[in-house]
Amino acid sequence: MIVGQQKDFDEIKKMISGYNRILVLGCQTCVAISFAGGMREVEILASMIRMDRKMAGQDIEIVEDATLRQCDFEFLDSVENRVDNCDAVLSLACGVGVQALAERYPDKVILPGLNTTFMGLTEKMGVWSERCAGCGNCILDKTGGLCPIARCSKGLFNGPCGGSMDGKCEISPDVDCVWQLIIDRLTALNQLEKLEEIFPIKDWDVSGHGGTRKIVREDLTA
Amino acid sequence: MFSKVGSVLVIGGGIAGIQASLDLADSGYFVYLIEKASFIGGKTAQLDKTYPLNDCSFCIRSDKHMECISHTNIKILTLSEVKDIKGSSGDFEATIIQHPRYVDIDKCTNCGLCAERCPEEVNDEFNEGLGKRKVIYLEFPEAAPNSYVIDRKNCLHFTEAGCNICKEACMEKAIDFDQKEQNISLNVGSIIFAAGFDSIIPPYYDYDKLPNVITSMEFERIHSLNGPYGGHLVRPSDRKEPSNIAWLQCIGSRDIYHNYCSSVCCMYAIKQAILARRSNKMLNATIFFMDMRVCGKDHERYYNHAKNEDNIRFVRSKVHNVFPVSGTDDLLIRYADEQGNIYEEIFNMVVLSLGLEPSHDAVRLAGNLGITLDKNNFVETSSFTPVNTSIPGIYVCGAFNAPKDISESITEASAAACASSLNAVSKVALPEPFEVTEQKPVPAGLIIGGGVTGMVSGLCLADQGYKVYLVEKTNKLGGHALKLRKTFKGEDVKSYIKELIDKVENHPLIDVCLNSEVKHTDGYAGNFSTRIAISSSTETKNIKHGVTIISTGADFLRTSEYLYGKNSRVLIWFHTDKILSEEPNTIEKANTWVFILCVGSREPERPYCSKICCSSALRNAMELKKLNPDMEIYVLYRDMRTYGLIEDLYTEARDKGIVFIRYKLDGKPEVEEDQDGKLMVRVKDNLLGEDLIIQPDFVTLQTAIVPGNNENLAKLFKLPVDQDGFLKEAHKKFKPVEFTAKGIYFAGLVHSPKPIDEAISQAQAAAAKAVTVLSREYISTNTEVASIDLKLCVACLTCARICPAGALIINGMGKPYIEPQKCFGCGICAVECPVKAISLEHFNNDLILTECEAFL
Amino acid sequence: MAISAKDLDPKFKFEIANIPGSELLKRCFTCGTCTAICPVSNTFSEYDPRKIIHMIILGLKDRVLSSENIWRCSHCETCKFSCPQGVHLSEIMDALQHMAVRDKYVTPDAFEKFGTAPCKAACPAHISIQGFIGMIAEGRYREGLRLIKETMPFPGICGRICHHPCEMKCNRGKVDEPLAIEYLKRFLADRGLSEDIGYVPETEEKKEEKVAVIGAGPAGLSAAYFLAIKGYPVTVFERLPVAGGMMAVGIPEYRLPRDILREEIKTIVDMGVEIKTGVSFGKDITIESLKNESYRAFFIAVGLHVSRGLNVEGENFDGIIHGINFLRDVSLKGNVTIGARTIVIGGGNVAIDVALTALRSGAKEVEMVCLESREEMPAWEHEIKDALDEGIKINNSWGPKRFIEENGKVKSVEFKRCTAVFDEKGRFNPQYDESELMTLEADTVLLSIGQACDMSFADGVPDLDVSPRGPSVKDPITLETNIQGLFVGGDASYGPRSVVEAVASGREAAISIDRYLKGEDIGADRPLEWKGIELEPQDVEHLARQQMQRLSITRRRNSFEEIDSGFSEQQARLEAGRCLRICGTQSKGNRGQGSGVGE
Amino acid sequence: MQYPSNIRIVKVPCIGTIGAIHILKALENGADGVCLVGCSEGKCEYSSGNYRARKRVQYVKNLLGKLSIEKERLEIYNISAGEARKFCEVAREVTETVRSLGPIPLKTKAISNSKEE
């Protein structure tokens, strides 16, 4: 899922200054799960904004709402009225959602309340970590199901660097060296020989370096 | 045939009476609960905190009070006494006198205006006379029933005719001076005496003259937040904080007038010392004691903690005198240490740890009814029927049976509920469960473990008409009790077990599965399903049952100390039992016998007391003496823990001339053998400061009780295990036979070491709890259960991750589901749900929000 | 050094425990109370009673019996009721001492070397005086009372009228003044009555054998009391309509209020003793009739209830009354008419009681006349002082010559000078100088010159050896007579003495009767003699003896209200605090104080 | 036993049911301070409600910091139901703290700022 993190309140404040009717719109999917942009967070943020404005002696009208997914136009229809009636929409969806909103309502000011951080998973309640960099060319079959692109600080393909110490990455002792994990796992799977194969130079074309990516499935298109 | 009556009379509204009432009421019986005072709760209500958790006593018990007050199957009669009881089991006729309260409970709103205006002040008994209260008063703010009461004896309306101040003050017109004493006649099927205890009046120590010599109950009141000094630990004479306090143990216990141990004083004194030290870090707390009797679950650990972490000083010496120190309110204590050195020390305050006497009123009533009492006026019961009095249909529980603490009283109360329910057959309607699902509970119980405990639980359930599956790992019923000869009271265990096995095997509703083990279990209270494997075959058996009782018992330590296993004359306790039954010649030839206690117990790697070793050693020692009066018997002990009425055995053993020598953990006895293989025991005599060398024919080791394979069990049933490896109950004090998970109970040594009578009462208690589930028309759910709006749910799993009850599961469809039987309605999931899809039935988010919004 | 099997005698503990009084020995669970509370332990660190008991239980016979420590117990009984298991240290030490002598660990003169406090030794009833005083000092009143009642059923009575020989011997007297032992005893008794902490001794399991006691005076009642403790059914037969003997009809009420007497007799009745008053032995019942009622043992203590005669002319005129008859009538009837001018003849304590009672019965003027000089008077000094205080004139060294009548009623008495009361051998043999005469006018003359035994009891037991003075005792220690199972005691057997001596007599009789009924040797180990240890107290702060409040002289007149009002609690504790507490102990070593260590 | 009258009590089954939004709403709607009172640590009937609440309070305190509202306006205490007296003490203490802080800036600033305009 996509993991997001709410922007600093000061930044949000600045962003919305001048707008007196705001729709705070959450997204009940990925970012809700990462406790950044679900209905719960919408309520909290809305309350803070109201209080902030009140202390500044300014009026503000806030509408709180959330869509099931902001990244699908269909879900955005349901909030049409609300969008129409506000000066700006503060979206708590990921960047995709924000842009979908902007596309669906081209005349509206759409503001991002989150920084979209990574694709990852919930390690445990309250802890999320990155797992996939969306490179477009998956090699997990060769690395025991652990991705060196997303999880090696240096993005190395052929084993750890010299900074790997006691299984930890040299950038921080809190970060596991993914290559250590890969080796451990392949050892356990008795597939260590897979590492004897040298990775060829990776094709980064599919990773976005070749421009905005698009996928078309002819069989599904109308 | 007479017709049995479906209601039960419970005499005494203390914690035991309340528990017995609740269990009976929950099983569908109608209960009359008779209480002498104006409120229920008894002595427990006066306590501040309870050991060993130092829990606020009120917090936990108040639930029980409220439950009891509001239960539709319980009729509480406060200010009432039983005048007479006629009839017999199944059909008793009880005459009750109810004294007027002069305040209408339904009208009184506790505004307190009446008391504010009342001109007359008297000593407050609830605060042990340390404070004053008005004549119209509420015993304590949380008293249940929560209504004022008039103390007629001191009320000016009655004494000086005509004072109507309170009546005029009351806005609700709740005061009614015309209320009259009422005679109430009740027809009940059985009766439970839960009359509790009275504290012994301190006989000496100048208690009446020295204000800073206080009783333990006074200490409880002083330390209580709702007590006379607002919870500030100050001494009565000058309201100053004491900087050193002495606790004197065995006041009114273990003496010629009360030659029994009151069981609870060691623990409560430690608790009080800990609390005192918490309220004043600089305070010196000293406990003067004879034997530290902390035998219950986790009690030893509590003691060790008090000694090592809380810096409480323990002095092994009985103190008989307290002298005033002239010019101060301080007190001087003179005591002798074991070496005979005499010391004098000054304390700011002295607490007398008072013992327990059976309730005087109850003794009188029981005497009139012809119930057999023992020489100390406790009700005489057998180890095998620990809650039955000498009169069929009349049962006893709590401190009127023998001195005991809250958790044991609660256990026994449930046991009494179980036993008495067999006498009162017809049931009344149960209150409607809050939410009715269509399912009925499966009318069957699964009992794991075929020892005495399991068999007793099984019979209790089967006798009430439920199917019982009794699963036993070995090839026969009986468990470790098969190795025992006699109880501490001297009853024959062997014939009891034989009888028990007969009953179990021939009971049409009991299905005994020998050589069997549980492989898998699933479900919830009222509807479990369990797979059982029989070791001899590959066959498995699936059982549906409404409740589970775990009674897998415990094991004993196979020690390597004291030459055990190397010399055949070094025995473990049950070998002694065996020799006693089978080898009288050996005994006749033996001149000297040594018992070593605490083998493997109360040591750093096993910091708990095995509870039964002292009594079993003494019982066997007495038997040996009986067969060979000339035999010299030495008992090497650390603390003689013959708690409660077992003290008798200790007295008797000393009378018979058995020699007791105390050893310390750092000076354990040494057992050696000489060239001829003869045994030699060397032990340091603390009093004389010299080594004593004994040449016994036999040495019996009282080895520790150790937990069985509870880890597996815990995993299988998802149950908590404590630090020592025994199963951990939901609450040490107030839920002694339950787990947090409903529908699954335990009994016996799987929970902690205990003697046979306590195991049996626990077995009955577990059965009583089980019946409260089985007897329901429908599987009941909790009153407040969270619910999920699946339309909103995004299956983020947050709820499943945080639910403390484990009630939230995500089904195969990726949708969360709340098991209503498990959910206890805490609302944590509702507040954490990122998409706000969860709400609490009676307590939804909007309600709180509305309240939070209502500020301007 | 290790103790091994050869040092141990497992039978030892049973041997000791079989000795009466030591039964509970084995109950000891070494709590240490005895050691902490023992005044001897507190001054002499070698003495640790707990260790001794422990050694007995272990069987260290040689070590215990050869130890000097077993001789150090001062029998103060301070520990008696403090042992939670009721082990009686003092009795056990006694048993050990006797065993040590018997088994020749020491020579019998060891008994001489150690003893007890002089007060206890001096008390005829051997009350553990230092013990009960210690208990008062510690506020353990109930236990103090109980301790007294172990050897004395009448603390309230003896706390008032005892001649307290104990106080003469009190070591404190060497410092300033002796302890007010009598009054302290009274304090405990009064407190017992007023605060309902009165102590009714526990009685042993009821026995079969019935015992009859003739005479409900202090000796008879005491015997009944101690026999009741042993569990015997006892009946006391009394000729008078009230129980108490001289305590009821001899000692005037202003010295001994009757409710005190009643309460202390009631205690005995509460213990199961039956008292039948108005029954004359020799007339209504006899030994034979009692035997037929299956009484198995008898104690005769009929007292001295008739007055001696003067053998003087005119002795039988109206208005001449025998003092003890007068006292009895006042006690029984309450109101006896008496002339305005009264003469009392006699110089003993009874004469003073008679004189003071006369004063309270309406006499305007009371004069005493006695043979003895002021110094020779047998009455105690404080009693004489009381009489003088109340305005009684005492005429010393006069003997009655003749009585002079008018209309058959006495008018005056003529006295002759007495020159000597005793001869050179000290025998009573008065000499007179007939030339020196004195005549005193009198409306009433009260004769108080001695008491004798009313021998009519002998009709009830014709076989009993008697002398003209009363029943003959075969053995003054066991109080046996020539008849098996019949014992005599009290004043009738030894002459006029005090209540406490009668109590001692009754107790000895009870011991004898108990042993007789059990078929034991009556005379063994008797008498129990106590040696009081003299002490030279040094560096003791002077503290004044507490004084009792007394009724003013004016209020005493015409009133039988009690003169002495007793100690307040504060006074009692201050007074008890004066006790040296180390009497009877040999060593003066002092123990250190400080903080003991915990476990 | 009395506690200050300007305290408004909202009863909840477990302190764990109070979310950040509830605290914020209360402040937003005019409360000058919020005090959460739950069972003693380790004594939660629902095992962990009070523990969660404590962490949540920290979180909301941070939010308040961002709004320049004094963090002291929010506090959490562990008081068991039997400790009425302690509750009163805490209530007084909290009232005192809040009183010394003055009305929540939400009200004062709103007024002064609007005056400036």
- Mean pLDDT within C445-461: 90
Please judge whether B56 and D80 are an interchain contact, meaning their C-beta atoms are less than 8 angstroms apart: yes
Is residue C579 over pLDDT 70?
A: yes
pLDDT of residue C560: 83
pLDDT of residue B66: 79
Please judge whether D106 and A55 are an interchain contact, meaning their C-beta atoms are less than 8 angstroms apart: yes
Three-state secondary structure call for residue B683: strand
B741 and B804 assigned to the same domain: no
pLDDT of residue B194: 93
Query: Cis bond leading into B145, ω under 30°?
Result: yes
Q: Could you tell me if residue B214 is inside a domain?
A: yes
Supply B586's token pair: 């050996």
Distance from CA of C237 to the nearest CA of B (A): 35
Tell me how crowded residue C389 is: count the other CB atoms within 10 A of its CB: 12
What is the helix (H) or strand (E) element at residue B323, kind and residue range?
strand B322-324
Is the pLDDT higher at B253 or at B824?
B253
Is residue B432 over pLDDT 70?
A: no
Query: Cis bond leading into C527, ω under 30°?
Result: yes
Query: Which residues in C lie closer than 8 A to residue B315 (C-beta atoms)?
Result: 596-599
B616 and B509 assigned to the same domain: no
Contacting chains of B (3 CB pairs or more, <8 Å) are A, C, D
| Partner residues linked to B838 by β-bridges | B788
Three-state secondary structure call for residue B840: strand
* C16, C28, C35, best to mutate vs chain B, most B CBs in 10 Å: C35
**What's the rounded Cα separation, in Å, for the pair B433 and B427?**
16
Chain B residue with Cα closest to A37:
B834
Is residue B777 over pLDDT 50?
A: yes
Q: Of the candidates B286, B314, B632, which has its C-beta nearest C10's C-beta? A: B632
Range of the domain at D40: 15-116
What is the helix (H) or strand (E) element at residue B506, kind and residue range?
helix B493-506
Is the pLDDT higher at A94 or at D11?
A94
Q: Could you tell me if residue B802 is inside a domain?
A: yes
- Mean pLDDT within B743-769: 93
B452 and B522 assigned to the same domain: yes
Same CATH topology for C210-305+452-518 and C307-451: the answer is yes
Greatest mean pLDDT range, A118-127, B710-719, C371-380, C509-518: C509-518
Q: Of the candidates C14, C33, C599, which has its C-beta nearest B657's C-beta? A: C14
How many residues does this entry show for chain A?
222
Query: Which residues in B lie closer than 8 A to residue D91 (C-beta atoms)?
Result: none
**What's the rounded Cα separation, in Å, for the pair B421 and B769?**
12
pLDDT in tens, C121-160: 999 999 999 999 988 988 888 889 989 998 999 999 999 9
> Angle at which helices B452-463 and B493-506 pack, to 10 degrees?
40
Q: Could you tell me if residue B426 is inside a domain?
A: no
Q: Among B706, B733, B754, which residue terminates a domain?
A: B706
Please judge whether B682 and C2 are an interchain contact, meaning their C-beta atoms are less than 8 angstroms apart: yes
Q: Of the candidates B53, B824, B854, which has its C-beta nearest D46's C-beta? A: B824
B769 and B655 assigned to the same domain: no
Three-state secondary structure call for residue B300: helix
Q: Which of residues 25-64 of A touch D (CB under 8 A)?
A: 40, 43-44, 47-48, 50-52, 54-58
* Confidence label for B782 from pLDDT (cuts 50, 70 and 90): low
Are residues B296 and B407 in contact, defined by beta-carbon separation less than 8 angstroms? yes
Please judge whether A39 and B798 are an interchain contact, meaning their C-beta atoms are less than 8 angstroms apart: no
**What's the rounded Cα separation, in Å, for the pair B808 and B829?**
9
**What's the rounded Cα separation, in Å, for the pair C371 and C399?**
5
* Confidence label for C583 from pLDDT (cuts 50, 70 and 90): confident
Is residue B784 over pLDDT 70?
A: no
pLDDT in tens, C341-361: 999 999 999 999 999 999 988
pLDDT in tens, B97-140: 999 999 998 888 888 889 989 998 999 989 888 889 999 999 88
Please judge whether A55 and D63 are an interchain contact, meaning their C-beta atoms are less than 8 angstroms apart: no
Please judge whether B204 and C591 are an interchain contact, meaning their C-beta atoms are less than 8 angstroms apart: no
10 Å CB burial of residue B439 (0-12, 13-18, 19+) is: exposed
Q: Could you tell me if residue D5 is inside a domain?
A: no
Is the pLDDT higher at B113 or at B804?
B113
Specify the CATH number for the domain of residue B647.
3.50.50.60
Chain C residue with Cα closest to B290:
C31
How open is the CA angle B337-B342-B345, to the nearest 5 degrees? 95
Is residue D114 over pLDDT 80?
A: no
Tell me how crowded residue A21 is: count the other CB atoms within 10 A of its CB: 13
D21 CB within 8 Å of a chain A CB: yes
Tell me how crowded residue A159 is: count the other CB atoms within 10 A of its CB: 14
Chain D residue with Cα closest to A41:
D21
Is residue C536 over pLDDT 50?
A: yes
* Confidence label for C170 from pLDDT (cuts 50, 70 and 90): very high
Please judge whether D12 and B843 are an interchain contact, meaning their C-beta atoms are less than 8 angstroms apart: yes
* Confidence label for B847 from pLDDT (cuts 50, 70 and 90): low
Chain A residue with Cα closest to B796:
A33
Mean pLDDT of chain B: 88
User: Percent of chain A, pLDDT > 90?
Assistant: 65
User: Percent of chain B, pLDDT > 70?
Assistant: 95
Q: Among B774, B805, B825, which residue terminates a domain?
A: B774
Q: Of the candidates B323, B336, B685, which has its C-beta nearest C35's C-beta? A: B336
Tell me how crowded residue C290 is: count the other CB atoms within 10 A of its CB: 21
DSSP string, C447-473: E-S-EE--GGGGGG-TTS-EETTEEPP
Chain B residue with Cα closest to A124:
B801
| Partner residues linked to B520 by β-bridges | B531
Chain A residue with Cα closest to D20:
A44
pLDDT in tens, C234-268: 999 999 999 999 999 999 999 999 999 999 999 99
Please judge whether B792 and A35 are an interchain contact, meaning their C-beta atoms are less than 8 angstroms apart: no
To which residue do tokens 């301080």 refer? B330
CATH number for the domain running over C5-113: 1.10.1060.10
* Confidence label for B827 from pLDDT (cuts 50, 70 and 90): confident
Q: Could you tell me if residue B780 is inside a domain?
A: no
Supply B498's token pair: 């034989």
CATH superfamily of this structure's domain C210-305+452-518: FAD/NAD(P)-binding domain (3.50.50.60)
pLDDT in tens, A11-28: 999 999 999 999 999 999
How open is the CA angle C49-C55-C59, to the nearest 5 degrees? 145
**What's the rounded Cα separation, in Å, for the pair D24 and A47?**
7
**What's the rounded Cα separation, in Å, for the pair B144 and B140?**
9
Specify the CATH number for the domain of residue B806.
3.30.70.20
pLDDT of residue D116: 46
pLDDT of residue C587: 43
Supply B371's token pair: 């119930």
> Angle at which helices B15-26 and B756-774 pack, to 10 degrees?
40
- Mean pLDDT within B744-755: 93
Q: Of the candidates D10, D31, D85, which has its C-beta nearest B848's C-beta? A: D10
Query: Which residues in A lie closer than 8 A to residue D20 (C-beta atoms)?
Result: 44
pLDDT of residue B841: 64
Are residues B592 and B624 in contact, defined by beta-carbon separation less than 8 angstroms? no
Burial track C524-537 (b if 16+ CB lie within 10 A, e otherwise) = eeeeeebebbebee
B603 and B679 assigned to the same domain: yes
Q: Could you tell me if residue D8 is inside a domain?
A: no
Please judge whether B826 and D14 are an interchain contact, meaning their C-beta atoms are less than 8 angstroms apart: yes
B367 and B472 assigned to the same domain: no
- Mean pLDDT within B76-95: 92
D88 CB within 8 Å of a chain B CB: no
pLDDT of residue C160: 93
pLDDT of residue B1: 31
A9 CB within 8 Å of a chain D CB: yes
| Beta-strand relationship, B197-199 and B356-358 | antiparallel
pLDDT in tens, B35-61: 999 999 888 888 888 888 777 676 667
pLDDT of residue C71: 85
The interface predicted TM-score of the complex, written ipTM, equals 0.72
Query: Which residues in B lie closer than 8 A to residue A43 (C-beta atoms)?
Result: 836
Tell me how crowded residue C6 is: count the other CB atoms within 10 A of its CB: 8
**Weakest mean pLDDT among C294-303, C417-426, C518-527:** C518-527
User: Percent of chain B, pLDDT > 90?
Assistant: 60
B586 and B675 assigned to the same domain: yes
pLDDT of residue C597: 56
Q: Could you tell me if residue B836 is inside a domain?
A: yes
pLDDT of residue B5: 61
Supply B732's token pair: 């040490």
User: Percent of chain C, pLDDT > 90?
Assistant: 57
Query: Which residues in D lie closer than 8 A to residue B802 (C-beta atoms)?
Result: 52
Following CA atoms B729, B735, B740, B743 in sequence, which dihedral angle do they give, to the nearest 10 degrees?
100
Distance from CA of A218 to the nearest CA of B (A): 30
Are residues C332 and C241 in contact, defined by beta-carbon separation less than 8 angstroms? yes
- What are the residues whose beta carbons fall under 8 Å from the beta carbon of B568, sequence distance 6 or more? none
pLDDT of residue C593: 38
Q: Of the candidates B57, B852, B856, which has its C-beta nearest D10's C-beta? A: B852
pLDDT of residue B813: 73
Supply B256's token pair: 């010629």
| Partner residues linked to B82 by β-bridges | B96
Mean pLDDT of chain C: 89
* Confidence label for D113 from pLDDT (cuts 50, 70 and 90): low
B516 and B489 assigned to the same domain: yes
Query: Which residues in B lie closer than 8 A to residue A122 (C-beta atoms)?
Result: 797
**What's the rounded Cα separation, in Å, for the pair C376 and C421?**
9
Supply C182's token pair: 């009598």
Following CA atoms B360, B365, B367, B371 in sequence, which dihedral angle do they give, to the nearest 10 degrees?
-110
Tell me the domains of chain A and their CATH numbers: 2-118 (3.40.50.2300), 133-207 (no CATH)
Overall number of domains in chain B: 6
Q: Could you tell me if residue D7 is inside a domain?
A: no
**What's the rounded Cα separation, in Å, for the pair A71 and B809?**
29
Please judge whether D24 and A40 are an interchain contact, meaning their C-beta atoms are less than 8 angstroms apart: no
Q: Among B691, B706, B721, which residue terminates a domain?
A: B706
Range of the domain at B133: 113-179
* Amino acid letter, B812: G
**Weakest mean pLDDT among A144-148, B301-305, B750-754, C313-317:** C313-317
Is residue B808 over pLDDT 50?
A: yes
Are residues C276 and C238 in contact, defined by beta-carbon separation less than 8 angstroms? yes
pLDDT in tens, C23-72: 899 999 999 999 998 888 887 888 899 999 999 999 999 999 998 888 88
Q: Where are the domains of chain C?
A: 5-113, 210-305+452-518, 307-451
* Confidence label for B763 from pLDDT (cuts 50, 70 and 90): very high
Q: Could you tell me if residue B659 is inside a domain?
A: yes
Is residue B435 over pLDDT 60?
A: no
Supply C116's token pair: 């007890």
Q: Could you tell me if residue D64 is inside a domain?
A: yes
Q: Could you tell me if residue D98 is inside a domain?
A: yes
Distance from CA of A44 to the nearest CA of B (A): 11
* Amino acid letter, B716: L
Following CA atoms B560, B561, B563, B569 in sequence, which dihedral angle do they give, to the nearest 10 degrees?
-90
Residue spans of alpha helices (H) in B680-776? 710-717, 756-774
Q: Could you tell me if residue B429 is inside a domain?
A: no
CA atoms within 13 A on the CB side of A220: 3
Is residue C581 over pLDDT 70?
A: yes
**What's the rounded Cα separation, in Å, for the pair C465 and C470?**
9
Closest CA to B385 of B375, B372, B376: B372
Overall number of domains in chain D: 1
Burial track C196-209 (b if 16+ CB lie within 10 A, e otherwise) = eebbebebeeebeb
Touch between A and D (at least 3 CB pairs under 8 Å): yes
B676 and B720 assigned to the same domain: no
Query: Candidates 3.40.1410.10, 3.60.150.10, 3.50.50.60, 3.40.50.300; correct CATH number of C307-451?
Result: 3.50.50.60
Please judge whether A39 and B797 are an interchain contact, meaning their C-beta atoms are less than 8 angstroms apart: no
Touch between D and C (at least 3 CB pairs under 8 Å): no
**What's the rounded Cα separation, in Å, for the pair B577 and B592?**
17
